[in-house]
Amino acid sequence: MPEPRTVALVTLGCARNEVDSEELAGRLEADGWRLVDDASEADVAVVNTCGFVEAAKKDSVDALLEANDLKGHGRTQAVVAVGCMAERYGKELADALPEADGVLGFDDYADISTRLNTILSGGHVEAHTPRDRRKLLPLTPVERQAAAAEVALPGHGAPEDLPEGLAPASGPRTLRKRLDNAPVASIKLASGCDRRCSFCAIPAFRGSFISRRPSDVLNETVWLAGQGVREVMLVSENNTSYGKDLGDIRLLETLLTEVAAVDGIERVRVSYLQPAEMRPGLIDVMTGTDKVMPYFDLSFQHSAPAVLRRMRRFGSTEQFLGLLESIRAKAPEAGARSNFIVGFPGETEEDYAELERFITHAGLDAIGVFGYSDEDGTEAAGYDGKLDQDIVDDRVSRLSKLAEELTAQRAEQRIGSEITVLVESVEDGVVEGRAAHQAPETDGLTTLLGADDAEIGRFYRATVVGTEGVDLVAEAITLLGADV
């Protein structure tokens, strides 16, 4: 019997891409492929690209070129691009990057095994022609669920979508194969976005907003718990819209309590929240439900009303501060983070000062700062009032410095408080994990002292005794059991 062909998945970008990669892994394993971690040991390296901003696109191209360098020096025979950048640019990317042996869009995912076999056999798979994926589903959200079966929605796979008689060797019939053994995993709650922010191209290549069925989310949670996952993070382009196409805009509140009740899951975290769509009932559930973390990843982007209007967003400094105040009235230690764009077309020095005022008073635990740059196909790319790059760079530098100081101060305010730490790394005597206000990869870490017997996936109650920027240093008090 011939040896199975091998494949390595290289994932860039956000947690949503990580879920998509695990769906691809599930499909490939179900069709007999052997998954390997090292691209140099794979017959084909599949790079799941990010196409959000210029820096992410550059990283994606670099990853493809790095994988291409392996060809001719080992087992690697082909390099294939998938993901957002491949979907967004298609044939344009294929022409500009001949080093890639294939550029596959979302429509290719359901038949990914055949596509890769064709490429490895010397055949050609035509790169797709990009299209506005918002037009693939009905305009009215409640009409979308019936049409969704005919549209490729990465990360939405259900077990019945597997070819008959095939199942991954690692477990039950599922379209997901875990690519690591971390105690935390993301779950795709929805795909796409109906908002029309003037700077963002994501809706055009990810499509209109469509929710996954609650039963699919719950079944996947149960499966992940069986794989040793202790914390799940619900991800999508806009979690606060979950359920609107299922006839219940408050469905997230119900789903959160059900996910938190899954045996083995000790933490549930929600990301990507739109401030304009936050509602009192959702805040109540996120601050008052056992095992649901009081963690608020709020997409503010700016706080000056004039800039927000040009961004096609809503709010103001006072409204955003009021939202944070309402959250902390219910959970004083709640975590809050956000990203901000500076140098947006038409942004005045007064607008920038207003953003500084908001950040100074917001008490955010983590802040991402990005300088504006034109994105292909967006409304803002055609705006007048573009700022000189040196002005944009100066404002990025100033706001980044302020953000670094303020988030460090916020971390210092936690000294003396008790936290619960999920251990994620034990290496050379150093134990690291995350507290409730720290999401994976974005919000800092906690170094745990006095936990010599620590194991990955276990929880400790600890006291914060020091900080290093946004990172915490905590002294272990006790190892916790199931009740955390």
Q: Which residues are annotated as a binding site for [4Fe-4S] cluster?
A: 14, 50, 84, 193, 197, 200
Contact 113, 28 (CB under 8 A): yes
- Please tell me the distance from the alpha carbon of residue 295 to that of residue 287, in angstroms, as a whole number: 8
Q: What is the DSSP letter of 452?
A: T
- Please tell me the distance from the alpha carbon of residue 255 to that of residue 216, in angstroms, as a whole number: 11
Half-sphere exposure of 324 (CA within 13 A, CB side): 24
Return phi, psi of residue 289, to 5°: -105, 125
**Number of CB atoms found within 10 A of residue 281's CB:** 11
- Please tell me the distance from the alpha carbon of residue 62 to that of residue 81, in angstroms, as a whole number: 12
> Diameter of the chain by CA atoms?
71
CA dihedral 220, 277, 398, 434 (to 10 degrees): -30
Using a 10 angstrom Cβ sphere, with 0-12 exposed, 13-18 middle and 19 or more buried, the burial of residue 263 is exposed
CA angle centred on 270, ends 194 and 159, rounded to 5°? 80
- Please tell me the distance from the alpha carbon of residue 49 to that of residue 58, in angstroms, as a whole number: 10
| Binding-site entries | 14, 50, 84, 193, 197, 200
- Please tell me the distance from the alpha carbon of residue 114 to that of residue 187, in angstroms, as a whole number: 26
DSSP conformation letters of 256-280 = HHHHHTSTT--EEEE--B-GGG--H
Q: Which pair of tokens denotes residue 33?
A: 């492929």
- Please tell me the distance from the alpha carbon of residue 335 to that of residue 444, in angstroms, as a whole number: 12
- Please tell me the distance from the alpha carbon of residue 268 to that of residue 298, in angstroms, as a whole number: 16
Q: Which pair of tokens denotes residue 321?
A: 């501060």
The SS3 assignment for 44 reads strand
DSSP conformation letters of 432-445 = EEE-TT--TTTS--
Q: Which pair of tokens denotes residue 301?
A: 């982007």
Pairing of strands 418-427, 430-434: antiparallel
Q: What is the DSSP letter of 84?
A: H
Q: Which residues contact 324 (CB under 8 A, 6 or more apart)?
A: 296, 336, 362, 363
